[in-house]
Structure 1
C-alpha cells in the first residue's frame, strides 16, 4: 500500500529520533491500546519536519507496508498540514467528510478512517504525530478517543524530552569524565571528612610514582602520607573545606621516590544553598621547572659575576695606569730633590710638581668614589638657576669663543638639596664633554626646568614627584647606540690618548644616583646630544653660605689636640706636623683609647681630630659619644673614604678630606677649636 524509503537512507538525526521513540517502553502498549480502542488496523508515531516524514514506531495489522525508519513523502500526508496548523485531524468516514472526501491522501493510501494528534515537547517544539488509519470507517470523533490520543501524545512528548535531557546530561557527564580522565594533572575530590570520593587516573598514577602504592575511594587522604607531610596535607584540605580557593607549593612523596615539589590548586565544592560539602585539588609537578629556574639563576649569577670581574678589571687597569703616571711624577721629583747642590728654583719646581700631582691623585680618587656612589656629599639647599648663572660665564671661557653658550632659565629658582660643589662639577664635566663633541664650534644650551616626573631609564621605571631637570645640549657629532651604552663606564672614552680620563661622566652618574636623582642621555648621530641631570626638587629658602676661608694660620699657639688614628704612618705624621706647628698632641690608636684619655682629663683638650675608618667603633660613632659625654668639646672628622659617611653623612661634624695639607689641618683645627683666637691671630 505504501511506498516508503528504506531506513538505511535516513540521516543520523532521524535515526536518533527513531531510537529515542523506541527507547520509550510504553510505546508498543500505546499503539496496541490505540488499535484495540478504535478498531483500526494501523497506528504509528511519526517524526515530522518541514521536509521529512519518518516512522519511528509502527503497529501494522493491515499490511500497510511501513516499518520503523521508513518514510512517506511529506506532501502525500495530512501530517504536513497538522504540523503547519498544530491541531489534530479526526475523520470518521472519508467519503462523508466534506473537508477530506476529495483529499489526495485518502485516495493515495486507501483509508476511510483517520486520526492524527500532534506530539509537542514541553518547550513547545513540534516533534511529529501519533496517527492511526484503517480502510473501514470508524467512530473516532468522540471526547474519549480524542482525549486518549491527546493523553498519549503528551505522554510521548514528555518521555522524549526526559530522555533527551537524560541523554544530554549523560553525554555532558561523559564529556566531563573524559576531560578529567584525559587530564595529565592529578585531580582528586574529597568530602568534609577528608575521604576520597573521586579521582582521575593521573592522580593514582602520580601517587603511585611518588609513594609506591595507589589510593582508593574512601581513603582518608592525609593519612596516606608520611607524618610531616600528612599534617601539611590536612591543613591544606582544611582551608579548602573552610571555603577558601587558593594555590600552594609543597613537597609530597617519599624520599626513596624523589619527593617532588607540587603546585596544588584547591577549590571548595558547594551545594545549591552555597554550603561546602567537599573540595577538590589539582596538582602539577613543578620540580623540573624549579630546577630549570635554579639553573637559570645560577647561570645569571655566573654571568653577573663575570661581568663584575670584567668591570673590576677595566677599573683596576684604568686606576693602575693613571696612578702609575702620577706616582712616576712624584717619584721622579723626590729623586731629584735628593740631588746635592740643587738650585732653589728647581727645588721649588719639584716640590710644586709633587703638590700638584697629589691634588690630581685626590681628584682621581674623588671621581672614582663619585662613580661608585661612595663620595661624602655635603648637601645644602640651593637654587639650581643661581648656580647655572654663576657657571655660565666660566663655561664660556671653558668652551672657547667659537661655541655659543645659551641659558634658558625659568622664573622660579628651582631649589634642590644636593652638594653644590658636586653639582657644579657635574655641570662642568657635561659641558666639557659637549665642547669636545662639537670640536670647538657650535652651540651649547643649558636649560633648567621644574618637572613632575623623572622618566624611565636603563630598565628603571619612571618616578613621579617634584624634580629639577638641568639639561646640557650640544650640536656636536652625536653618539651611536653602542657608545651610549658605555658612556658612564669609568675610564671609557672615545677621545684620543691624553685628552681625557674617561671619569668625568662617571662622576656625573654617581653624583646623580647618590643624590636620589638620575642622568638621562639622548643623542642622534650627526645632530647632537642632550644630557639631563634630574635632582629632587625641594621647597624653602637657600641656606646661608659658609664664611670665607680665614687667612692661613700655621702656629697652633699651644692648642691641645687629641688625634685618633689607627694608621701608624698617618698618626705619626699628623702628631709630628702639629707639634712643629705649635700644637700640643696626644695620639690614641682607636676609639677605646680616645675615650679613656677623655675620661682621665677631658679638660686638657681643645679639639678631637679623628679618622672615620677604624676597627671597632668608627669615627662618627666616636664623635657622637664624645658629644654625649663632653658636650662642649668640638670634634673634627677626617677620611679618604668611608662607607659610613657615604651612607649617613657626617652627622653634623666638620670633615677634613684626605689627603690634606698641614696648613689645611692647622687652619681647620683652630677654626673649630678656637674661632675667636683664630680671628684675632689672623687680624694680627
Structure 2
C-alpha cells in the first residue's frame, strides 16, 4: 500500500510505500520497500506510475493494468483502488504474477496463428488445385466447394452452387440429373469410401466423364456428418484410351491377317499334298477296277485312307490351336491313362529311348477330354523323340500342384489347384530365341516336309480350351520339359477310362436309330454303316422332318444329329425338342468346330455325346455300341 505525499516535483508529486508483504518483496525483487518513494524505486517510470494512481485517489475508481518488473522479469497484473476515507490519501495496489499464464497464452496464440496459416495454405492449395472439391452435409447442402468445382457445376448444369445451398434444390428442375447426383452422394453418406467413373451434365450445355473419389466425414462421436469428393475430368483421358484401344485393335487385326497368311500358306501346302494322295488313290482304284485288276486296289485304298486320316489330324490340330475344337470333357484320373499310352509311346520312339513314368500316388481327378489329352501327350513324346536322335530318357510325370495368385500372375493363368502332367527328355534342348516361338502355328525347326509345326500349338490350344495352361522349360544340351496344367476336379473319377478307337459291334435285338443330317453323303454312310451292323435306321434331312419321324415312331433308342442343320432348327434344338418328348432318349451330336457354340462349347448333358468330323466308320460304330449299352 502506498500513500500520496506532496513534494517539490510539481503536480504529480510522489507516493511513499507504507506497507508491503513478503510475497511482493519476493516476486517484484524489491527488498525493504516500506518507506521508499516511487521515484526512488523506479526513477525512469515514476511519472507514469504516479499518473496511473492519481485518478484512483481523486475519483475512487479502480484500475487494472499489466507491468513487467525488470528486476525479476516477471509480468504482473496490477489492481489499484483507494483506501477509504479519501482524506487519508492512500492507494492499495494488488500484484498478481501472470508470467506463466501469459507465456501459455502466447504459445496458444502462436499455435492458433500457425494453424490459421496452415489452413490458409491448405485453402490456397484446395482453391488452386485442378480437382473439383466439394464437401456436403447429410442433407446434401454444401459445407465447402472450391472455385473450380463451382465453375464446373455451373458449366454442366447451368446453375451456380454456393455454400449453404442444397444440391437437390439446385437441380430440382432437372430430375434425371438430380437422381444421378443423389445416387453417388448417398453411397458416401451411407459410410462408403469409393472411386467411380461416371458421366454427368446436361447435354444441352456440356456432358463430361468424371473420376469421383468419395470420402466420409465423421463428428467427434464417430457419427457420419457428411461426405466429400475430389473429382477429375477424365473425358479426354478416356477418349485417348479409346483411341489407343482402336489402334491396338488395328494392330491386332494386322497381326491376325499376317498370321492368317502364314497359316493358309502352310495349310495349302499340306492339304495339297494330302488331296493329291486321296484323289490319286481314287483315280488308280477306278482305273484298276476298269481293268479288272482288283489285286492292286487294296494298296490304293490303304494310301487314300491314310491320307484322309492325316488330313483329319491336321484339321484337329488347327482347331486345337484356335481353341475351336469340340471337346468332350469327363472327370478322369490321368494315371489310369498312362499304361496304355506308355506302350504306344514305346512303340513310337523305338528301343533307343527309355520311357518311364512317375505318377503321384494321391493324384486328383481332372475334367478333360481323354482322347485329346492322349493326342497332346503323344505329340509331346514325339517331339521329345526327335530331340534325342542318339537315344536318351523320356519321362512322363504327374503331380498335384497349387498355384497361388502371385505365381499365377507371373504365368498368365488363374490361381487354383491343378494336376500337372510333364513330359521331359534328355535331348538337345532349345535355345532362347526358338523357345519364344515354339507355340506359333506352322513354326518348326524340322526340315521341309518332316513336320507341320502344329504339334505344340495344338497342345497350347488344348490346354487353354481345357481352362488350363502349358509351360516349357529348356536348356541347350540339357533337355526339355513341357508341363500341362489341368484344373483339378472336385468329384470322383470313374474307375475305367476308355481312350482310343472303340471296336465295332453288331446290334443285339431290335434297336432303332434316327439319323438327322442335311449332307446326303454323310447321312448315307452313317445309315449304311449302322444298317450293316444290324440296327434299324430312320433318316431325315432336317430337324423338322426328324421330329416328325420321332413323333410317329413308337420306339427310338438313339438320335444321331448333325449340329449345323439348315432351316429353323439346329441339332441342339432338335435334341432338346426330342428329349422333351422322350426324356430318356440318348443323343449323339456330329459336329465340326463351327457349331461348337450351339453345344455350349462342348458341355453336354448326361446321355449325350459328341462325335467330331471327320470320323471313321469304326469310331461311329464303337461309339454307338457304347452309348446303347450304357
Match of 1:337 in 2: 285
CA distance in 2, matches of 1:640, 1:567: 13
Which stretch shows the higher mean deviation, 453-462 or 277-286?
Answer: 453-462
Within 5 A, what are the aligned runs for 1:671-682?
Answer: none
Q: How far did 1:497 drift?
A: 0.9
Residue 464 (structure 1) aligned to one of 416, 421, 432: 416
Q: Which residue of structure 2 aligns with residue 437 of structure 1?
A: 387
In angstroms, what is the RMSD of aligned CA positions?
A: 4.8
Q: Structure 1 residue 657: deviation in Å? A: 4.5
Aligned runs of 1:44-193 on 2, under 5 Å? 88-92=28-32, 148-151=94-97, 153=99, 156-157=102-103, 160-161=106-107, 163-190=109-136
Change (3 A) 1:183 1:593: same
The 5 Å alignment of 1:144-543 reads: 148-151=94-97, 153=99, 156-157=102-103, 160-161=106-107, 163-190=109-136, 194-196=140-142, 198-207=144-153, 209-210=155-156, 214-225=160-171, 227=174, 228-237=176-185, 245-255=193-203, 257-267=205-215, 269-272=217-220, 279-339=227-287, 340-341=290-291, 343-379=293-329, 383-412=333-362, 415-453=365-403, 456=408, 459-461=411-413, 463-465=415-417, 467-537=418-488, 540=492, 542-543=494-495
Instruction: Output the CA distance in 2 between the equivalents of 1:234 and 1:561.
Output: 64
Once residues 296 and 619 of structure 2 are traced to their aligned partners in structure 1, the CA distance between those partners, rounded to angstroms, is 25
**Structure 1 residue 381: deviation in Å?**
5.4
Q: TM-score scaled to structure 1, two decimals?
A: 0.68
**2:571 is the alignment partner of 1:619:** yes
The 8 Å contact of residues 556 and 666 in structure 1, kept in 2 or not, is answered as: no
Instruction: Check the 8 A contact 1:637/1:655 in 2, yes or no.
Output: yes
Q: Structure 1, unaligned stretches of length 5 or more?
A: 1-33, 40-60, 62-85, 97-105, 112-116, 121-125, 133-143, 676-684
1:596 offset after TM fit, Å? 1.0
In 2, distance between residues paired with 1:372 and 1:38? 118
CA-CA distance at 1:464 after TM superposition: 2.9
Task: Say which of 621, 631, 648 aligns to 2:603.
Answer: 648
Distance between the aligned counterparts of 2:115 and 2:323, measured in 1? 70
Q: Distance in 1 between matches of 2:364 and 2:203?
A: 66
Deviations 1:193-240 (A, max 9, x none): 655454333234434554567554554444445613234334555555
Alignment of 1:595 with 2:547, yes or no, is yes
Matches of 2:351 and 2:386 in 1, distance apart? 14
Q: State the alpha-carbon separation in 2 of the partners of residues 557 and 131 from structure 1.
A: 124
Residues 218 and 498 of structure 1: is their aligned pair in 2 closer, same or farther, counting only changes over 3 Å? same
Q: How many residues align?
A: 568
Residue of structure 2 in register with 1:123 after alignment: none
Give the Å deviation of 1:633. 6.3
What is the CA distance between 1:531 and its match in structure 2? 0.9
Offset from partner CA, 1:270-322 (integer Å, 9 cap, x none): 55455666554433222222222222232333333333333344333333322
Which residue of 2 is the match for residue 80 of structure 1?
none
1:336-389: per-residue Cα shift (whole Å, max 9, x none)? 334342633333322222122111112222222333344444455554344334
2-side partners of 1:192 and 1:517: how far apart?
Answer: 50
C-alpha distance after superposition, 1:96-126 (max 9, x if no partner) = 9xxxxxxxxx9xx9x9xxxxx9979xxxxx9
CA deviation vs aligned residue, 1:226-283 (integer Å, no higher than 9, x gap):
6132343345555556666554444444445532222334445555455666554433
Distance 2:581 2:357 in 1: 52
Q: Which residue, out of 516, 536, 540, partners 1:564?
A: 516
CA distance in 2, matches of 1:668, 1:278: 69
Per-residue Cα deviation, 1:27-61 (whole angstroms, up to 9, x for no partner): xxxxxxx999999xxxxxxxxxxxxxxxxxxxxx9
Any conservation in 1 of the 2:363–2:419 contact (CA below 8 Å)? no
- CA distance in 1 between counterparts of 2:335 and 2:259 reads 36
Deviations 1:2-41 (A, max 9, x none): xxxxxxxxxxxxxxxxxxxxxxxxxxxxxxxx999999xx
Bigger Cα displacement from structure 2, 628-637 vs 353-362: 628-637
Q: 1 CA distance for matches of 2:119 and 2:295?
A: 107
Given that 2:75 and 2:97 are in contact with CA atoms closer than 8 Å, whether structure 1 keeps it comes out as no
Structure 2 residue runs without a partner (length 5+) = 7-12, 14-25, 47-65, 79-89
Distance 1:335 1:298, change over 3 A: same
| TM-score for both structures, normalised by structure 2 | 0.73
Distance 2:375 2:518 in 1: 32
- Alpha-carbon distance in 2 for matches of 1:651, 1:491: 37
Contact 2:328 2:610 in 1 (8 A): no
SS in 2 for 1:494: coil
In structure 2, the residue corresponding to 1:531 is in which secondary structure?
strand
Alpha-carbon distance in 1 for matches of 2:581, 2:68: 107
Counterparts in 2 of 1:358 and 1:130: CA distance versus 1, 3 Å: same
Q: CA 1:35–1:190 in structure 2 vs 1: closer, same or farther (change >3 Å)?
A: farther
Q: Does the 8 Å CA contact 1:385/1:414 hold for their aligned counterparts?
A: no
The SS at the match of 2:553 is helix
Q: Give the SS at the match of 2:554.
A: helix
Instruction: Choose which of 604, 614, 618 in structure 2 pairs with 1:659.
Output: 614
CA distance in 2, matches of 1:212, 1:632: 68
C-alpha distance after superposition, 1:526-577 (max 9, x if no partner)? 3221112233455757524669966776x99997653311223433555567
Deviates more, 1:540-549 or 1:565-574: 540-549
Contact 2:393–2:426, Cα closer than 8 Å, also in 1: yes
- Separation in structure 2 between the aligned mates of residue 599 and residue 209 of structure 1, nearest angstrom: 69
Q: CA 1:360–1:650 in 2, change beyond 3 Å: closer, same or farther?
A: farther
C-alpha deviation, 1:421, in angstroms: 3.3
The 1-side partners of 2:493 and 2:228 are apart by 66
Answer whether contact 1:406 1:446 (CA < 8 A) is retained: yes
**Secondary structure of 1:648's aligned partner:** coil
**Displacement of 1:430:** 0.9
